[in-house]
A and B are shown apart, each in its own frame.
Chain A
Amino acid sequence: GAGVSQSPSNKVTEKGKDVELRCDPISGHTALYWYRQRLGQGLEFLIYFQGNSAPDKSGLPSDRFSAERTGESVSTLTIQRTQQEDSAVYLCASSPWGTLGYEQYFGPGTRLTVT
């Protein structure tokens, strides 16, 4: 079946503009995660959605970052008033839950460059 998909694959934006990144999880996966990977580093957790539970936003670096998820499908990560330090690859992952296990599967990422 199809894996996690993300769009756009690359985004170049000017400092101060808003950007929206999209993630389509694997069908049937109830949990969805956003991570950020700065150049040459490991991944940092940003936000997590699971079913109808309140999202865990503990990893969002500032109030310029927000995310939404519609039911158990698409999610969008929005960065307002982008700064140069926001330049990174933003990766989305999804996983099943409960008796189906918790293994996370990652999409190809969106490379964001803020000029």
Chain B
Amino acid sequence: GIQVEQSPPDLILQEGANSTLRCNFSDSVNNLQWFHQNPWGQLINLFYIPSGTKQNGRLSATTVATERYSLLYISSSQTTDSGVYFCAVVPNSGGYNKLIFGAGTRLAVHP
């Protein structure tokens, strides 16, 4: 089945710094979503981005479907950005729209 790899696995930032998280996938996909899992375990939708570029405040994301990767940019990071960031894809081949998750990037933002 499709492999979803996220990097880096762990990231420590000082408040105000910028960062880029990467998601590579091994096969073509129909859908791609980025989530933030906060320290209370809630999954928060960040982007629904099977292709192209989107921006929402300090966050933006780019998916290059033909090259099988997506990037999540966090600018001017805040302590509330801490948590785990997941990339999840729906593979083209079958799957009935089930999401396949990467292992996540664990982000800690220090004041």
Interface residues of A (CB under 8 A from B): 31, 33, 35, 41-45, 48, 50, 56, 59, 89, 91, 93, 95, 101-106, 108-109, 111
Interface residues of B (CB under 8 A from A): 30-31, 33, 35, 41-43, 45, 48, 86, 88, 90, 96-104
Contact present for B98 and A33 (CB under 8 Å): yes
Chain A residue contacts of B35, Cβ below 8 A: 106
Judged by DSSP, the binding face of B is strand
Contact present for A43 and B48 (CB under 8 Å): no
Residue in A31, A42, A103 whose CB lies within 8 Å of B101:
A42
Contact present for A95 and B97 (CB under 8 Å): yes
The residue in chain B whose Cβ has the minimal distance to the Cβ of A111 is: B41
Q: How far is the CA of A105 from the CA of B35 in the complex (A)?
A: 10
Contact present for B96 and A48 (CB under 8 Å): yes
Chain A residue contacts of B99, Cβ below 8 A: 33, 35, 43, 45, 93, 104
Contact present for A48 and B33 (CB under 8 Å): no
Chain A residue contacts of B43, Cβ below 8 A: 91, 106
Chain A residue contacts of B30, Cβ below 8 A: 102
Q: List 18 A-B contacts (CB under 8 A).
A: A35-B99, A41-B103, A43-B86, A45-B98, A45-B99, A45-B100, A48-B97, A48-B98, A50-B96, A56-B96, A91-B43, A93-B99, A102-B30, A103-B33, A106-B42, A106-B43, A106-B45, A109-B42
